Homo-oligomer: A and B are copies of this chain.
């Protein structure tokens, strides 16, 4: 399926969270990632991120869609899509 991951992470932990997310998804903004991912990988990604965050301070949200075709995307301004470069 296709997902959007967004986060607000304390700066002490954000490098780690970004590196993990980049192993599974493409970065499109500072704290926004998108990509095609299977259920198994999503589960692993979620567990890995959960271990790193402090639940009372950090926030991660996954928006999960069956298919990228269900979403229309409009971009304003700078558009950069990192491939898996850390």
Contacts and interface: CB of A to CB of B under 8 A. Distances in A.
Contacts of A77: 53-60
Interface string A6-39: 1110000000000000000000111110000000
As for how many copies of this chain the complex holds, the number is: 2
Contacts of A60: 75-77
The A contact surface, by secondary structure, is: strand
A11 B55 CA distance: 26
Given A7-B29, A53-B77, A78-B56, A72 B64 contact: yes
A40 interface: no
Contacts of A29: 6-8, 31, 59, 61
A74 interface: yes
